[in-house]
Amino acid sequence: MVDLQLLFSSVVFGFSLGSIYFLLSIGLSLCFGLMRIISLDQLLYYSIGAYFAYSVGVLVDNFWLGVACGMAIGGLAGLAVERLVFLRIYERDITFSMITSFGILIGGIGVIKLFWGVVPRPVPVPIETQVSILDTEISVYRLVVIAIAGLVYVGILLFLNRTIIGKAIRAGIEDVEHVEGLGINVYRLFSITFIMAGALSALAGALHAPLIMVDPQMGLEVLAFAFMIVIIGGLGSIKGTLVSSLLVGQIVSIGSLIYAPLALMAPFAAMIVILLYRPTGLYGSPLLKR
Amino acid sequence: MGILRWWSGLLLAFGLVAVLRMFVPLPFANEIMIFSIYTIGCNFLLGRVGLISFGQPAYLAVGAYAAAFYFYYYGTNPYVGILLGIAAGILVSLVVGPLFVRLRSDYFALVNLALAVIIFFLMQKVLANITHGDNGLWFLTSLSSTPVLDLTRPNQFFVFALLVGFAVWAFYKYLDDTVYGACCLGTKINEDKLRFLGYDSFRIRLLAFVIANTTTALAGAMYAVYLGFVSPEITSPARAADPVVVTILGGVGTLYGPLVGAIAYTGMKDVLSKALGNWELIIGFLLVFIMLAGERGIWGTLEPRLVGLWSSLWRRRSPAEGREM
């Protein structure tokens, strides 16, 4: 019988991990939904966010300022990449964007190595207090991470459902040509989405930084998990991304409680089962529209 | 005459590689041969069937580890190890293939990369007491020498690799000529029409998947024999892009693209990474540049020009001959 306190703490751990995964893969999912591109460079903004959280944290000794800086830089980097590269390849096949963005990811890792070197960097945990819930010691920082992810989810939902730009983006996910026909500049929508995605990926990286070591390969390490999450949830669905990232977070966390090496394999098995059941993921649209 | 023409391109290409061997160091030549065999599977999937796979390292590792387990635990004959690698490649592709090839092309690419990462974890952590984790399996000294082509000597290994490469290329060239090759191209260009003509696109894809990944597994087994050790590094996510990069560098869907790409890539890796020490930076931006410049690659750009040059030379000579008569 598994210890209940251990189980509870690993459930919290799973939720915090799932929250970070959610912030990370929402960018991938949004970019696919609206622009029909697979934007692997989101994982680069994830590393950028983590590195800025580290550097600003060292400079001014304030973690949250580092997070904000990382988000700003991540968004700007996303905008630059979108203007310079993706603008030229929107019309092309989906595999095209995948190869190109993989190139950006690898090249960006090279740039990171150029600036920060290959040595892994530690980031101190900003909130070290623990609270006792149900006789279990829980790190407050993990709860804060979960709360931030929840706020971001609500924020995205409000943005997409209440504002005119958000409604246009949602309509664009359904049918880009009709939105263009209504006289809305879809390329501006694309840029906005890209900035948002880049900033959220950077936020994921910055929040993840205190929990792991920051190193140049960190983007590639979470790549497989980001992939599995968007596959399980279905590309382009925000709700699906939330559900599947929490699912994968729990699988990793509870799996490692049962048998440590299993934790890395179990999400893959879950993905295979779900793909057998639904080839386009839990909430994915069955057809590729463009 | 027709038969000679069919073989002439292959003979010329591999003759040139054999000539190249005299000018470059042996490890470099061996690396090129194995790498080009590794890449042609990816090239076939991407150029002929339209499936992009970032997961080729997974199948490379399958071949390499099948051979490595045999060498480390059971036997010493390098040829048997390579055959086992091929068999493992067929087996694994047949198991995962039916599930993977029915996916849409974007999901296909993601699932393959996920498989590569899973095999990496499997070899590094889960099966660590069999694979010795990151230390890898070492068996260089335990390989036995064989009478005709002694694969334990790099010199004779190159001859073997050249012959294998020749056979693989002849096979892919033959595939291009068959109805099946046309069907593959059909699934890429217009799957609905192909289905309308009565072909089963699922089976075509599955066969292509098995063929391509078996070739990759063969390359993996050859790596195992040549290097004498196998570690999880072979399937690390950082190397997942290698075959795709080489495919695109050489020219997608061209027959000799992987060969040209492998030579260019290995050469650049050798020269540039020594000079700059930051390999990711170069390869990443090179990939983006090639994609934006029109994705035709080196051989894809050169081939039409060479053909044009050849035919214009031919044409210029023919009227002259006519006048003499």
- The dihedrals phi and psi of B151, each to the nearest 5 degrees, come to -70, -10
Indicate the residue of A85, A113, A261 with minimum beta-carbon distance to B292: A85
User: Do the Cβ atoms of A264 and B118 come within 8 Å?
Assistant: yes
Closest CA–CA distance from residue A104 to any residue of chain B (Å) = 6
The closest CB to that of B288, out of A104, A109, A230, belongs to A104
**A53: CATH:** 1.10.3470
Q: Inter-chain contact B109–A95, Cβ cutoff 8 Å?
A: yes
Structural domain contains residue A100: yes
Residue type, A283: Y
Beta bridge partners of A121: A214
Q: Which residue of B has its CA nearest to A260?
A: B126
Structure confidence at residue A2 (pLDDT): 61
Give the residue on A whose Cα is nearest the Cα of B252: A96
Whole-Å CA distances, B290 to A54, A86, A206, B294: 34, 14, 32, 6
Provide the number of structural domains found in chain A: 1
What's the rounded Cα separation, in Å, for the pair B222 and A242?
44
Chain B residues with at least one Cβ partner in A under 8 Å: 46, 50, 52, 54, 99, 102-107, 109-111, 113-115, 117-118, 121-122, 125-126, 237-238, 241, 244-245, 248, 278-288, 291-292, 295
In which residue ranges of chain A is pLDDT below 70? Answer: 1-2, 261, 284-290
**Domain residue limits at A79:** 4-277
Residue B14 CB partners (closer than 8 Å, separation 6+)? B162, B165, B166, B169
- Unique residue bearing structure tokens 């310079």: A84
Backbone angles phi, psi at B10, to 5 degrees: -60, -45
C-beta atoms of B114 and A217 within 8 A: no
**Distance between A206 CA and the closest CA of chain B, angstroms:** 22
Is A286 inside a domain boundary? no
Question: A289 in a domain, yes or no?
Answer: no
Q: Which residues of A touch B292 (CB under 8 A)?
A: 85, 88-89, 100
- Asked if residue A236 belongs to a domain, the reply is yes
Interface with chain A: mutation pick from B291, B295, B296, highest number of A CBs within 10 Å: B291
pLDDT, mean of each 10-residue run, chain B (325 residues): 73 80 80 88 85 84 89 82 90 88 76 80 78 78 74 81 88 87 84 84 88 91 86 76 81 82 82 72 79 74 79 64 42
* Residue among A96, A113, A230 whose CB faces B280 most closely: A113
Residue of A83, A92, A106 for testing the chain B interface, max B β-carbons within 10 Å: A106
* pLDDT confidence of residue B237: 66
The answer to whether A85 faces chain B, any CB pair under 8 Å, is yes
Q: How far is B189 from chain A (nearest CA, A)?
A: 12
B211 contacts: CB under 8 Å, gap ≥ 6: B41, B44, B175
Contacts of B237 in chain A (CB under 8 A): 220-221, 223-224
Q: Supply the pTM of this predicted model.
A: 0.79
pLDDT at B295: 66
CB pairs under 8 A between A and B: 134
pLDDT given at position B217: 92
Which of B111, B118, B284 has the CB atom closest to A106's CB atom? B284
- The per-residue pLDDT for B321 is 45
pLDDT at B176 (0 to 100): 84
Asked if residue A21 is part of any domain, the answer here is yes
B281/A221 CB distance under 8 A:
no
ipTM of the complex as predicted: 0.73
Nearest by CB to residue A114, choosing from B117, B237, B278, is B278
Q: Is A231 an interface residue toward B (CB < 8 Å)?
A: yes
Nearest to B96 by CA among B86, B88, B106: B88
What's the CA gap between B57 and B7, in Å, rounded? Answer: 31
Which residues from B are below 8 Å from A279, CB to CB?
102-104, 107
CA distances to A8, A195, B33 from B272, rounded to whole Å, are 52, 34, 20
- Identify each DSSP E strand in chain A by its residue range: 130-133, 136-139
Q: Which two tokens stand for residue A160?
A: 């997409």
Q: Which of A108, A224, A235 sits opposite B106 (nearest CB)?
A: A235
pLDDT at B90: 92
